[in-house]
């Protein structure tokens, strides 16, 4: 049974899901309009400076932050791609996880803040993100993980596919948190999950997806990576909850990727909502511990005893 705090979170999400998430189409349209009219803040909170070294560059015309341990050397580098249905900026829950990655995971975390839809679209943003990702994996100094939640989880798969297809160096691992892998949203398994999901709705997500797709079809693999080839992807850790309509395609990804020989560590948590590892609940904390423990060690470092 879900913990008390998870049940409280579910009640709050059920009451406020039309504002917290992407369930109500009219509210999502208003979110897009507000973001275009008054863009939300996206920078890391000041508290990160106490425990992390935070730097930034604007190589692609948009900010890219680097968050690293203040003391000691990084042991792994993580490209973190934030969620928000491609229409909302990175938020506190994302920065909390990024801080944990740097402080508890000894990670150097690279956090691109790319343009949001409708200004940013797959055809304009994916090439720049692929170039950034390729520079990280080609460096070879540290093992590299592509990690993302929701829309960022889908983007993580897309970038791994792009590097594979263009002869780039693949990441060592993918970590996908409630990934949005198919913007078409026609999986028959969604219907059985919809009544239990307090945050996401098909019509609202399709609207967001159409803004991100731009001139591309929703089924294009840059937009819906589960519809592209999954062969040759690196080891992949997936977190999903049973109160999340995106879990239908996370299960589909697991089955298709496994059939292609990909090592998939699939973690489905009963009673948990969308991106549950980012919420301060016992289940979220447990998922974060599993996530941190799964990060690859540098090749020169001895493997920890299991």
Pairing of strands 173-177, 235-243: parallel
Long-range contacts of 301-305 (CB under 8 A, 24+ apart): 301/75
Q: Spot the catalytic one: 128, 182, 244, 249.
A: 244
Query: What is the Cα–Cα distance from 154 to 178, expressed in whole angstroms?
Result: 9
The verdict on whether 244 is a catalytic residue reads: yes
Pairing of strands 173-177, 144-149: parallel
Pairing of strands 235-243, 264-273: parallel
Spatial neighbors of 132 by CB under 8 A, at least 6 apart, are: 59, 60, 64, 79, 110, 112
Q: Are 62 and 115 in contact (CB under 8 A)?
A: yes
Query: What is the Cα–Cα distance from 265 to 305, expressed in whole angstroms?
Result: 19
Q: Spot the catalytic one: 6, 150, 178, 224.
A: 150
Pick from 271, 137, 162: which is nearest to 220 by CA?
162
Q: Spot the catalytic one: 82, 94, 220, 274.
A: 274
The verdict on whether 265 is a catalytic residue reads: no
The verdict on whether 274 is a catalytic residue reads: yes
Give the residue numbers annotated as catalytic, written as ranges: 150, 244, 274
């Amino acid at each position: 049974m879900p913990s008390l705090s998870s049940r409280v979170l579910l009640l709050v999400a059920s009451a406020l899901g039309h504002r917290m998430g992407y369930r109500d189409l009219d509210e999502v349209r208003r979110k897009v309009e507000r973001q275009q009219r008054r863009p939300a803040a996206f920078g890391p909170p000041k508290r990160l400076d106490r425990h992390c070294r935070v730097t930034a560059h604007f190589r692609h015309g948009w900010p890219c932050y680097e968050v690293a341990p203040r003391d000691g050397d990084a042991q792994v580098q993580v490209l973190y791609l934030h969620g928000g249905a491609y229409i909302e900026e990175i938020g506190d829950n994302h920065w909390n996880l990024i801080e944990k990655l740097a402080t508890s995971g000894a990670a150097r975390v690279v956090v691109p803040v790319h343009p949001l839809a409708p200004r940013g679209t797959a055809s304009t943003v994916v090439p720049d993100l692929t170039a950034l990702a390729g520079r990280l994996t080609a460096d070879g100094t540290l093992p590299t993980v592509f990690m993302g939640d929701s829309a960022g989880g889908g983007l993580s798969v897309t970038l791994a596919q792009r590097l594979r297809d263009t002869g780039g160096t693949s990441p060592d691992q993918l970590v996908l948190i409630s990934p949005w892998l198919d913007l078409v949203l026609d999986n028959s398994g969604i219907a059985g999950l919809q009544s239990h999901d307090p945050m996401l709705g098909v019509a609202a997500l399709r609207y967001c997806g159409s803004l991100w797709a731009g001139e591309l079809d929703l089924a294009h693999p840059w937009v819906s990576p589960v519809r592209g080839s999954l062969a040759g992807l690196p080891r992949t850790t997936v977190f999903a909850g049973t109160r999340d309509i995106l879990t239908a395609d996370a299960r589909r990804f697991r089955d298709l990727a496994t059939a292609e020989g990909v090592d998939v560590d699939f973690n489905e948590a009963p009673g948990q909502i969308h991106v549950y590892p980012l919420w301060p609940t016992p289940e979220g904390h447990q998922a974060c511990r599993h996530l941190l423990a799964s990060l690859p060690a540098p090749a020169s470092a001895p493997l920890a005893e299991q």
